[in-house]
Each structure stands twice: as structure tokens, then as C-alpha cells.
């Protein structure tokens, strides 16, 4: 069934058999595909985030990025010939139920917990009293316990610990590690029951050693401190703050120095939020902390590698530079990887930190919202730093391990690593989103750079990835012993295609997600990745905003094309594309260009069950994609469909072999995926965390008896009954 809005998503649980729209379902499909996504909040009931609530009041969530939403998991059952069965469920963490119970939208303003409810504040959903929502809406990591061949699955997020979920029922089983094991990414005085854990959305599992690796990092960069200072008071007395802030902005805009503006903004919030007659001792202490101590004694810059093999308490190693100094993460650690002898950590170019998590406090006020975005945002680095850790150093007695730092000359968000690292040469397959920013999203007041027109309302909340340079597909060889990128043996492939043609052919405008056979397999490692199937999301004058242009127009960046040249390319546009790269030659050997106004979001390799076909193993299967497309009806009105397309991996140019749909299937934006051979009921693990005990320990640390009592009541009534 089509729907009127491009960004439409349901949150309803589905148990359906998909219907064939075109083509025929192959008989040799196998296993299960899981795809993660965000699907709005407890208040929105899905997507889009509407501008107004049913009572006519402005919706505070309007304009939120689509990736700020509860995890909504898709499971495609491909085990029965000629059928594709779909099951979907929301991933309901403890903070999900706290969100549900505290919502004033659902429970009315008389709800006793309304004053501590979560709110969308940018990329994150937060409450200064409760903490940060762990939405586990990004990726999936399969793994096996030592001595047990059951396929188990983790749902993951960049700002929260991973949760294991049952692949059959799709209900959560347990978080990995107790709250007290993880180091919170927010300042030490913010003792919330739901701490923000800065980790990776892509923990990895080695089937040979049965080790799961993740990270936990903290930071004390200027952007983190300033964002935290600015918004320490912003949750209090919002109406009066908004009015006074509007009056100040015109004055601040005349300042030449951003540092002076930030200082005055901080002073303003302390003054605006101060309530001397009612201020508690704790509030005074907190203000003193920021003014006198906070700049020197906040969280440290620190990176911890987490190794876990099914214990209740994982092992943490502090990772330092070779000179013993602390590692400072500039952006995020969205992706990590591994080879036979090394763990590879990356400071990836995805700004999932407080400066963008919390720069949207008054979404209905263009003046304030645009001012704070300009003040807090900045362009991402045009390089990425890798930290390579010899696995032989990871012995139980050690607490601190040195990493070898290697700098990639381009922005990187995602990568995969060949398991084979003979002669200490690591081969990394990289996605380079050059002069693009997946952490930014389109605001309702944004204007298009190419035309000067206001952004299409249908695209509000989409990632603002109107790129400002051409993307690249990389194969990077690193000589670990010499801490060096082997430039002569590395390749950074970029293709413009022929933008004057309807089908421009293979291109790398907007390099996105990718897949290959046995990617993230819980059963086997890939010694050498031979064929990679890449998504490029193309280019459109409907996606390049003034803000993104201004953010990345600087000529000092490492770029192929100038900002002015990118305007010309954007006006011509390029479609979404699916293409096969042969890694030996680093050439595109096959591709399919999607029709105009068609979006391909996720892609996953599905092995063929026919093992004796004589086809190269890495091409013997299918590529399953999630697709959102536009269509016109007889009244010349636009509507959008959500479909599943499957391609023959060895013949993409043929087009989809089948298109599948269902009237209940609606998704706006899906993210990472995984294929597993089996998805049966799994046993209850020995490491299962007692949720009541885990969070009660957090509540004990909350300052203020009344607040502590309120939070305890919220948890007792709305959270703990769901976790027996």
C-alpha cells in the first residue's frame, strides 16, 4: 500500500507473508535476513514526525532526524521455497518503558512523571533527570558462546550498550555488561539511571576465537564541554528561556569571535536558569563544578577495548598511544574491525557526540534552532585515524595496551577487514563519504543551494548528505610494522559516471552501505574479500542545502572537486546505484541504476542454497534491498511505496528478479543488516543481567531524595514488570 509521505514508517508488529508485485521468488534462497531501523518515538506512533499534535499544539518532535527513533527490527524468513515471510518487532529496552511511562503526550500533563520525560534534542532522545535513550536501532552483530553453536544476536547503537535479543521471538534477553561496568560519556555529576554510553554501533565477533570486541570511550573535547554547559539548564523553564534567548540572538550574531559567543551563551543559561530562592545545595554545587572545576576535572580522554566471551563482566583494556598518552576521539567510533592478529579501532567521521545530539532544543523556533546549529556544528575532519592493536597483547593480566596509529587520508565511516594479515599487512575495504555529513539532518527551514527554494517538506528529517565532493571506494593496505599506508598498493576508486545520460553508469556519488558473502558471519571468517556490493545514493539538487554547502565549501579540504563544481554536478543529479566491485582489480564489473525518485536504503547478501552451481562463491547468491519509491496516481498526486527487491548477485544489470510488497509494510529509512543461516529459539544465557538490580544501583546514585523517589516509582510501576 502506498502512503502520502516519503518518510512513513509503522511501529506495528507484523507477521506476514510478502506478496509478489513483479517477477518470481527464487527457489534457492536460504536463511534469515535481519535489518535494523528507527521508527519514531513512543509519542509519534511511527513516522513522519507531524508538525502538530492531535490537540493542535506544536509537536516538539517535529523536524527530528529519522535516525532518532526506537529500534524496529525486520526479520525476513527465506527458508521456505517460493516464500518470503516477514516478522517485525520494536526492541523494547528498559528506557523504552520509562519513556512510555513518563510521556505527557500519552499519559496527560497530570502524569506525575511528565517533568522528567524524555525529549528529542537532536540525534539523541534525552532527559536531564533520567538520562539518554538507548534506542538500539542501528546494527546487528551475530555471535556464538564458547561451547555453544546457537546463533545469537546483538542489537546495537552508538550511544548505548548492546542488547542480546531472541532471533525467534525478537524480544530482548539481556544487556551485555552491567551499567556499572560501562563508563558514561556524560560529565561525572550527571548521575542518571540511563547513562549515555559512547561505544560502537559495530561490535565484532571472531568465530575462530569466539571473542566479541567492542569499545567504550569518554572525551573532554571543547565541543563536548560547551554543549554540555549550554544545555545543562535548557530542560528547565523552557518557555521563558526561549523568549529571552530570542532577544539575545540578534546581539550575539554581531560578534566576530565564536568563543565569545559561546562564553556569553553559557553565562546566559546559568543566569536564565538560576532560581536563587529554590536552588538546592546540589544545584549550587553543580554550578560551582562547571565554573571552577569542570573545565579541568571532567571526563578524561580515554578509549577502552572491550573483550567479551559470555561472562557477566566483560574485560576492559585501556588503549593508549605508543608514547603512553591518552587517545582523543575527535568524532566517534562508529566502526571497529579485526584480522587474525589485530583489532582495528577507528575515529570515524560520524559526529555522534553531544554537539549534534543536543543542538535542536527548540525545533519549532527557527531563529534559535538555526543559531545553535551554526554555533555548535562544524565540518568533520577530512581524514580518519586508525588504532591498530596486536591481539597477542590482550592477555588477562594487562590493563593497558598500546595501539599503533595510522592515518587514512580520507573521511571514513564504514570499513571491513580481510581476516588474512600475512607479513603483518592488513587489507581494509573502506567507504569514503567525502565532504558529506551523515550526522546532519534536513531542517524544515533549510533552503536548497541550487535554487534558493525552501526544502521539500517530505525530506525534513532525512540525513543531510547532499555531498560536497565525490565519494570513494577504497582498498587500503597497511604495513603494521612500519605504521604506514602502502600507497602504491592501495586504491581509492572514484567514478563520476556520465551525468548527461539517463543512466550514468557506475559511479561513487555518495558511497553508502555495502555487503559481501559471509559478512559478519557467526560461523566463518573471510580470509580475502573478493567481491563487494556497494550502494551509492547518488546526488540531487533536492538534497544540497545552503547549510551543508557553507559547512563544506572550504577549499583547504582534501577534495577532488571544488564547491562550485559540485553545484554543477548536483544540478545534473545521479540516481541510487547498486554495483559490484571486484577487489583484485578494484573495478566495477556489474551495476544497476535505480529509477529516479527511488531510494535504496539497506542491502544484504543472501547465499544460494545451491552449492554445486559452478558459480564463484562470492557471487553465488542474491542481494536483498529495502526500497522506497515514488509513484503518481490518476489524480497526479504523489505517493510512496515500501518494497523489498532481490537481485541476482552475478547479474545486477538484469534488474530485480522479484519485487515484494505488503499493504502493512511501511518503512522510511532502514540501516544495517545481517544474514544468518538459522534463527531458532535460543537458550537463556548464564550472563543474563538482573534488570531490577542493575538499575536500582543506578538510582541510588541520583542526587536529591524527591527525584530519587520519583524515578524509583517510575521504574517500579512501568519498567520492572516487563523484565522478570
Nearest to 715 by CA among 96, 93, 98: 98
pLDDT tier, 293 (very low <50, low <70, confident <90, very high otherwise): very low
225's enclosing H/E stretch is: helix 222-231
Instruction: Write the pLDDT tens digit of every residue in 689-722.
Output: 999 999 999 999 998 899 999 999 999 999 999 9
Residue 584 CB coordination number (10 Å): 10
Flag the least confident range among 47-56, 460-469, 482-491, 534-543. Answer: 460-469
The model's pTM is: 0.92
Instruction: Write the pLDDT tens digit of every residue in 182-231.
Output: 998 876 667 899 999 999 999 999 999 999 999 999 887 444 444 444 44
Flag the least confident range among 347-361, 430-444, 624-638. Answer: 347-361
* Residues facing residue 308 across a β-bridge: 212
Nearest to 136 by CA among 169, 82, 187, 172: 172
Q: Which residue has the higher pLDDT, 219 or 559?
A: 559
Instruction: Write the pLDDT tens digit of every residue in 301-321.
Output: 899 999 999 999 999 999 999
Pairing of strands 484-485, 472-479: antiparallel
**What is the pLDDT, as a whole number, of residue 271?**
56
Q: Phi and psi at residue 97, in whole multiples of 5°? A: -70, -30
Q: Name the average pLDDT for the chain.
A: 89
SS3 548: helix
Q: How far apart are CA 136 and CA 91, in angstroms?
A: 7
The alpha carbon of residue 450 and the mean position of all alpha carbons in its chain are separated, in whole angstroms, by 28
Pairing of strands 670-676, 384-390: unpaired
Contacts of 99-105 with C-beta under 8 Å, sequence gap 24+, read 99/41, 99/42, 99/125, 99/133, 100/42, 100/718, 101/714, 101/717, 101/718, 101/719, 102/127, 102/130, 102/714, 102/718, 103/42, 103/43, 105/43, 105/53
pLDDT tier, 286 (very low <50, low <70, confident <90, very high otherwise): very low
Question: Per-residue pLDDT for 278 more than 80?
Answer: no
Cβ–Cβ < 8 Å for 684, 672: no
Question: Per-residue pLDDT for 485 more than 80?
Answer: yes
Q: How far apart are CA 662 and CA 10, in angstroms?
A: 12
Flag the least confident range among 3-17, 241-255, 616-630. Answer: 241-255
SS3 566: helix
Q: How far apart are CA 609 and CA 621, in angstroms?
A: 8
Pairing of strands 400-402, 315-320: parallel
Instruction: Write the pLDDT tens digit of every residue in 223-258.
Output: 444 444 444 444 455 666 667 777 777 777 676 666
Q: How far apart are CA 600 and CA 534, in angstroms?
A: 11
307's enclosing H/E stretch is: strand 302-308
Nearest to 121 by CA among 373, 298, 334, 347: 373
**What is the pLDDT, as a whole number, of residue 224?**
45
- What are the Cα distances from residue 322, in Å, to 124, 258, 387? 34, 35, 10
Could you identify the residue written with the cell 490537540? 55
The three three-digit cell numbers of residue 119, written as one number:
525529549
Cβ–Cβ < 8 Å for 375, 333: no
Q: What percent of the chain stands above pLDDT 70?
A: 87
208 Cβ contact list (under 8 Å, min separation 6): 340, 525
Q: Phi and psi at residue 227, in whole multiples of 5°? A: -65, -40
User: Is 531 annotated as contributing to ligand binding?
Assistant: no
Cβ–Cβ < 8 Å for 578, 538: no
**What is the pLDDT, as a whole number, of residue 222?**
46
Full DSSP string of 409-475: SS--SEEEE-S--GGGEEEEEEEE-TT--TT-B--TT-BBTTT-PBPPGGGTTSB----SS--EEEE
CA angle 128, 131, 132 (to 5 degrees): 120
Q: How far apart are CA 481 and CA 596, in angstroms?
A: 48
Amino acid at each position: 500500500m502506498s502512503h502520502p509521505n516519503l518518510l512513513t514508517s509503522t511501529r506495528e508488529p507484523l507477521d506476514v507473508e510478502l506478496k509478489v508485485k513483479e517477477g518470481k521468488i527464487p527457489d534457492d534462497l536460504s536463511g534469515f535476513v535481519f535489518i535494523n531501523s528507527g521508527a519514531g518515538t513512543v509519542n509519534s506512533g511511527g513516522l513522519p514526525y507531524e508538525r502538530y499534535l492531535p490537540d493542535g499544539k506544536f509537536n516538539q518532535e517535529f523536524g527530528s532526524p529519522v535516525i532518532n527513533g526506537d529500534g524496529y527490527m525486520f526479520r525476513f524468513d527465506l527458508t521456505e521455497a517460493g516464500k518470503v515471510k516477514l516478522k517485525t518487532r520494536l526492541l523494547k529496552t528498559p528506557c523504552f518503558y520509562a519513556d512510555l511511562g513518563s510521556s505527557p503526550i500519552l499519559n496527560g500533563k497530570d502524569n506525575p512523571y511528565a517533568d522528567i520525560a524524555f525529549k528529542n534534542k537532536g540525534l539523541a532522545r534525552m532527559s536531564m533527570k533520567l538520562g539518554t535513550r538507548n534506542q538500539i536501532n542501528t546494527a546487528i552483530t551475530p555471535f556464538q558462546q564458547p561451547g555453544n553453536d546457537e546463533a545469537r544476536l546483538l542489537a546495537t547503537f552508538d550511544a548505548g550498550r548492546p542488547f542480546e535479543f531472541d532471533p525467534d521471538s525478537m524480544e530482548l534477553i539481556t544487556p551485555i555488561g552491567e551499567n556499572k561496568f560501562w563508563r558514561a560519556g556524560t560529565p561525572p555529576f550527571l548521575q542518571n539511571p540511563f547513562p549515555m554510553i559512547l561505544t560502537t554501533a559495530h561490535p565484532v565477533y571472531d568465530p575462530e576465537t569466539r571473542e566479541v570486541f567492542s569499545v567504550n570511550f569518554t572525551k573532554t573535547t571543547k565541543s563536548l564541554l560547551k554543549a554540555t554547559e549550554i544545555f545543562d539548564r535548557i530542560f528547565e523553564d523552557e518557555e521563558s528561556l526561549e523568549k529571552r534567548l530570542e532577544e539575545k540572538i540578534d546581539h550575539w550574531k554581531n560578534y566576530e569571535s565564536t568563543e565569545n559567543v559561546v562564553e556569553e551563551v553559557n553565562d546566559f543559561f546559568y543566569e536564565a536558569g538560576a532560581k536563587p530562592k529554590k536552588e538546592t545545595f546540589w544545584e549550587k554545587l553543580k554550578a560551582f563544578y562547571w565554573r571552577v572545576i569542570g573545565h579541568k576535572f571532567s571526563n578524561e580522554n580515554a578509549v577502552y577495548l572491550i573483550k567479551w566471551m559470555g561472562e557477566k563482566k566483560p574485560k576492559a583494556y585501556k588503549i593508549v598511544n605508543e608514547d603512553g598518552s591518552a587517545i582523543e576521539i575527535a568524532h566517534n567510533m562508529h566502526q571497529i574491525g579485526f584480522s587474525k592478529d589485530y583489532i582495528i579501532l577507528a575515529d570515524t567521521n560520524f559526529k555522534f557526540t553531544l554537539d549534534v545530539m543536543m543542538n535542536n532544543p527548540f525545533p519549532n523556533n527557527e531563529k534559535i534552532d538555526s543559531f545553535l546549529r551554526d554555533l555548535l556544528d562544524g565540518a568533520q575532519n577530512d581524514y580518519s585515524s586508525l588504532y591498530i592493536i596486536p591481539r597477542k597483547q590482550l592477555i588477562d593480566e594487562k590493563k593497558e595496551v598500546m595501539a599503533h596509529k595510522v592515518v587514512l587520508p580520507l573521511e571514513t565511516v564504514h570499513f571491513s577487514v580481510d581476516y588474512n594479515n600475512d607479513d603483518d599487512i592488513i587489507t581494509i575495504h573502506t567507504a569514503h563519504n567525502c565532504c558529506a555529513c551523515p550526522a546532519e539532518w534536513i531542517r524544515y527551514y533549510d533552503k536548497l543551494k541550487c535554487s534558493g527554494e525552501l526544502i521539500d517538506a517530505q525530506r525534513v528529517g532525512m540525513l543531510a548528505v547532499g555531498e560536497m565532493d565525490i565519494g570513494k571506494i577504497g582498498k587500503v593496505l597497511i604495513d603494521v610494522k612500519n605504521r604506514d599506508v602502502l600507497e602504491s598498493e592501495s586504491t581509492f576508486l572514484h567514478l563520476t559516471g556520465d551525468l548527461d545520460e539517463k543512466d550514468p553508469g557506475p559511479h561513487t556519488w555518495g558511497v553508502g552501505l555495502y555487503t559481501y558473502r559471509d559478512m559478519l558471519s557467526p560461523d566463518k571468517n573471510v580470509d580475502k574479500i573478493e567481491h563487494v556490493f556497494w550502494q551509492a545514493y547518488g546526488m540531487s539538487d533536492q538534497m544540497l542545502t545552503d547549510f551543508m554547502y557553507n559547512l563544506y565549501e572550504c577549499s583547504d579540504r582534501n577534495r577532488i572537486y571544488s564547491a562550485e563544481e559540485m553545484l554543477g554536478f548536483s544540478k545534473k543529479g545521479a540516481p541510487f546505484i547498486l554495483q559490484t566491485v571486484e577487489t583484485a582489480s578494484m573495478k566495477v564489473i556489474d551495476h544497476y541504476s535505480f529509477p529516479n525518485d527511488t531510494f535504496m536504503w539497506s542491502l544484504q547478501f543472501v547465499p544460494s542454497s545451491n552449492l554445486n552451481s559452478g558459480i564463484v562463491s562470492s557471487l553465488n547468491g542474491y542481494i536483498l534491498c529495502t526500497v522506497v519509491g515514488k509513484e503518481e496516481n490518476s489524480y497526479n498526486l504523489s505517493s510512496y511505496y515500501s518494497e523489498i527487491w532481490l537481485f541476482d548477485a552475478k547479474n545486477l544489470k538484469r534488474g530485480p528478479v522479484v519485487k515484494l510488497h505488503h499493504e502493512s509494510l511501511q518503512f522510511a529509512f532502514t540501516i544495517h543488516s545481517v544474514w544468518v543461516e538459522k534463527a531458532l529459539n535460543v537458550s537463556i544465557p548464564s550472563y543474563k543481567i538482573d534488570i531490577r538490580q542493575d538499575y536500582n544501583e543506578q538510582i541510588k546514585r541520583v542526587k536529591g531524595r524527591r527525584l530519587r523517589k520519583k524515578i524509583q516509582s517510575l521504574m517500579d510501576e512501568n519498567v520492572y514488570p516487563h523484565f522478570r
